[in-house]
Amino acid sequence: MSQDTPAQVSAFVSSIQGRFITFEGIDGAGKTSHLNAMEAQLRAAGLDVVRTREPGGTPLAEKLRESVLHDSMDPLTESLLVFAARRDHLVRVIEPALARGAWVLCDRFTDATFAYQGGGRGFDQGVLQTLEQWVQAGRQPELTFLFDLPPETAAQRLAAARSPDRFESEDRAFFERVRAGYLARQQAMPERFALIDASRTPDEVGEQVHGALLSRGWVRA
Ligand code: TYD
């Protein structure tokens, strides 16, 4: 690294190993700005970073995303489409990136399916678990940031946002179920999750995100 590298950036160069990190939370939790910051820091440190999202991340999966976000469908169809998109994304983008040692930063992954289709829509968790096994063949993120906050706070943040999609236009009770679905996943697999209090200020949330990387030894203080 050159000597003029900012301190917070050089903190990331201690690792050359690829990582699979996902970012989750109800709509309006503010995860995207923290994802942007981490992506910028990792890239500035010279690491191979793949920034991607679900549903999406490949041409086919982006087409499926359009349907999932805007077309009316039943919860099984919705679940099959998000897992079909996930399969294409894993095979074409995520697995090759991890195999070459890249850091994959993914805006939502399977925890969103358990939270939105399982929690929000009330769809059968057993079917989702079966699809998860078929599609992922054991692949899981190494670290998942769960940006948790009350739905009423998230709704206030979203109020100024663009026109809502099929999920964003759901009511408060739906997002209470989504939040509970996320927290159930976090409680079932606590070692994979960093639970972030997303109701705090952006700086405080950023500190929590950094602290989770520090505690894993993935960055230096
Ligand atoms: P989101 O990731 O929030 O993108 P944007 O910032 O552009 O709104 O939107 C994706 C939506 O898709 C979000 O409301 C959650 C939903 N979703 C599911 O219902 N199931 C899933 O498996 C995934 C990945 C997302």
Q: What pTM does this model have? A: 0.92
At residue 17, the pLDDT reads: 67
Query: Residue 163's pLDDT band (boundaries 50, 70, 90)?
Result: confident
Q: Which of 25, 19, 48 is nearest to 219 (CA)?
A: 19
Q: How far is the CA of 160 from the centre of ligand 1 (A)?
A: 18
Span 108-121, mean pLDDT?
A: 98
Q: Which tokens go with 207?
A: 């500190």
Is the minimum distance from the CB of 82 to ligand 1 under 6 angstroms?
A: yes
**At which residue do the structure tokens 């639970």 appear?**
195
| Range name among 18-27, 57-66, 161-170, 178-187 with the lowest pLDDT average | 161-170
Q: Share the mean pLDDT of the chain.
A: 91
Contact 27, 156 (CB under 8 A): no
pLDDT of 78 higher than 70: yes
Q: Which domain holds residue 76?
A: 6-215
pLDDT of 199 higher than 90: yes
Measured distance CA(16)–CA(47) in Å, rounded: 7
Task: Give a yes or no: residue 120 inside a domain.
Answer: yes
Task: Tally the domains of the chain.
Answer: 1
Q: How far is the CA of 100 from the centre of ligand 1 (A)?
A: 27
Backbone φ and ψ for 196, nearest 5 degrees, come out as -110, 130
At residue 15, the pLDDT reads: 46
Q: Which of 28, 34, 21 is nearest to 205 (CA)?
A: 34
Task: Give a yes or no: residue 62 inside a domain.
Answer: yes
Task: Give a yes or no: residue 143 inside a domain.
Answer: yes
Residue 59 burial (C-beta neighbours within 10 Å; 0-12, 13-18, 19+): exposed
Task: Give a yes or no: residue 142 inside a domain.
Answer: yes
The number of beta carbons lying within 10 Å of the beta carbon of residue 105 is 21
pLDDT of 51 higher than 60: yes
Task: Give a yes or no: residue 69 inside a domain.
Answer: yes
User: For the domain that residue 200 is a member of, what is the CATH number?
Assistant: 3.40.50.300
pLDDT of 12 higher than 60: no
Cα distances from 170 to residues 7, 21, 129, 151, 155, in angstroms, run 42, 27, 24, 11, 10
pLDDT of 13 higher than 60: no
Cα distances from 179 to residues 17, 118, 154, 182, in angstroms, run 32, 11, 11, 5
Q: How far is the CA of 207 from the centre of ligand 1 (A)?
A: 25
Is the minimum distance from the CB of 31 to ligand 1 under 6 angstroms?
A: no
3-state secondary structure of 88: helix
